[in-house]
Amino acid sequence: MAARRSRIPATKYPVERFTLDNGLRVVLTPDRSAPVIGVAVVYDVGIRSEPEGRTGFAHLFEHLMFQGSENLEKLAHFRHVQGAGGTFNGSTHLDYTDYFETLPSNALERALFLEADRMRGPRLTEENLRNQVDVVKEEIRVNVLNRPYGGFPWLTLPPVMFDTFPNAHDGYGSFDDLESATVADAADFFRRYYASGNAVLAVSGDIDVAEATELVTRHFGDVPARPAPQRPDFTEPDLSAERRTSYTDPLAPLPAVAGAWRVPDPVADFAGYLPYVVLAEVLTDGDASRLVERLVQRDRTVTSLGGYLGFMGDPFDVRDPTALLLQAHLPPGGDVDKVLRTIDEELDRLATDGLTEGELARTQARMATHLLRDTDAVLGRALRMAVLEQQRGEPGLLNELPRLVGEVTEEQVRAAAATVRPERRAAIEVIAGGAR
């Protein structure tokens, strides 16, 4: 075990944490190797937080946060970031929403001013709301309605696996819900969830900690204090019998299938969760992986296959309930039942016979490489640390993830595989309506 741990690279990014009087949590991680900074603000609100009748609202509100703020007119945020040579964006997830910039380090104060200004209050006007409803509707048309396999499986599988609205509903939103949203709804959403006490600010890169602390305090310290709302309990019982459904995609040229199995709580039972993260990679990462070798190369029953933890694909930024997902596209006339049976066979074989020589070490090395690459850039580091602080209060866990992945044992992976049973599976089949 010691020898294997020694081969997994480690990072030692420094972490400075403090909390302002208004409840804003701050994470600073200096790296003076290049004159670049990453700034990320993460709010503890996501798709699961949306009220019934307001599907897609978390994502819609993310758009509204770019339409001007307390002291800035519409599009000013764009001009100030790009004028300094930077890039910016935001994204909505199941359990959080983030806003971020990459900038030259001499633009730190500019970035902090911009984020603090919209934390005080975005410009919530009828004009901005109606405009962004139209933008989001067009995004849905492009990414879901008019695209082959649109929303598969991240939108189509949760309603099969889950029963409660927070976990099962369409996070992009229905047109009816989006069109009926009001400015009052937006103002209430902002007051409830966009509180300083419900946010984390992370800054990484070429910063002096003392100077950055003073600037953060100057710009965010007078943001009105509002406490974080009580987070609802989103837990649901595991499946006791297989659930399966299908739908016809009029644009899909080939059939497809996805299956999902519940996994341990990624926060409360992190040690129990990690073997499933490794299992997903053992099954699907690379040409030598279990399922790729069997289904793609040998049996040729699928044309492509992937596996991951969490419906949006990042195992370390999601809370419970979540799942291990496997998805595959099949050739014309492909047999979905046969594919699912083969997956069950391979999981049984892994649980019973174990891994081959070098299989686990190879997988863990690839996983560590991906983790290191994803946080090499200062923005990736800021985003990951902000979410780790938000969900766990442990931004420094970023440094430990490669080592922890490398410490997962073969016995743990086999035990995880033994729980991935057909009776605990939710599956959805895409019937190809666009085949010619």
Q: Find the angle CA(280)-CA(282)-CA(283) to the nearest 5 degrees.
A: 65
Give tens-digit pLDDT for 265-304: 999 999 999 999 999 999 999 888 999 999 999 999 999 9
**Type of residue at 352:** T
Contact 117, 393 (CB under 8 A): no
Q: Would the pLDDT of 81 be above 70? A: yes
The DSSP result for 69-110, as a single string, is BSS--TTHHHHHHHHTT-EEEEEE-SS-EEEEEEEEGGGHHH
Arithmetic mean of pLDDT, 343-369: 95
The pLDDT assigned to 91 comes to 97
Q: Would the pLDDT of 3 be above 60? A: no
CA 39, CA 386: separation in Å to the nearest integer? Answer: 10
From residue 316, how far is each of 164, 267, 272 by CA, in Å? Answer: 23, 9, 13
Bridge-partner residues for 36, per DSSP?
104
Give tens-digit pLDDT for 40-70: 999 999 999 999 999 999 999 999 999 999 8
**If DSSP codes are grouped into helix, strand and coil, which group holds residue 271?**
helix
**Type of residue at 373:** R
**If DSSP codes are grouped into helix, strand and coil, which group holds residue 259?**
strand
Please report which confidence band the pLDDT of residue 6 belongs to, taking 50, 70 and 90 as the band edges: very low
The pLDDT assigned to 313 comes to 83
Backbone angles phi, psi at 54, to 5 degrees: -135, 45
What's 22's DSSP letter? T
The pLDDT assigned to 288 comes to 87
CA 98, CA 93: separation in Å to the nearest integer? Answer: 8
CA 256, CA 313: separation in Å to the nearest integer? Answer: 18
Arithmetic mean of pLDDT, 321-325: 98
The pLDDT assigned to 8 comes to 80
Please report which confidence band the pLDDT of residue 351 belongs to, taking 50, 70 and 90 as the band edges: very high
Arithmetic mean of pLDDT, 204-221: 98
CA 424, CA 299: separation in Å to the nearest integer? Answer: 25
Arithmetic mean of pLDDT, 88-112: 97
**Type of residue at 312:** M
Q: Would the pLDDT of 188 be above 50? A: yes
CA 5, CA 305: separation in Å to the nearest integer? Answer: 29
The pLDDT assigned to 5 comes to 44
Arithmetic mean of pLDDT, 236-246: 96
CA 151, CA 143: separation in Å to the nearest integer? Answer: 7
**Which among 17, 4, 100 has a CA at the least distance from the CA of 392?**
17
Q: Find the angle CA(379)-CA(319)-CA(367) to the nearest 5 degrees.
A: 55
Give tens-digit pLDDT for 379-410: 999 999 999 999 999 999 999 999 999 999 99
Q: What is the mean pLDDT of the chain?
A: 95
Q: Would the pLDDT of 7 be above 90? A: no
Q: Would the pLDDT of 124 be above 50? A: yes
The DSSP result for 109-123, as a single string, is HHHHHHHHHHHH-B-
Q: Would the pLDDT of 340 be above 90? A: yes
The pLDDT assigned to 436 comes to 59
**If DSSP codes are grouped into helix, strand and coil, which group holds residue 407?**
coil
The pLDDT assigned to 167 comes to 97
**If DSSP codes are grouped into helix, strand and coil, which group holds residue 178?**
helix
CA 19, CA 26: separation in Å to the nearest integer? Answer: 6
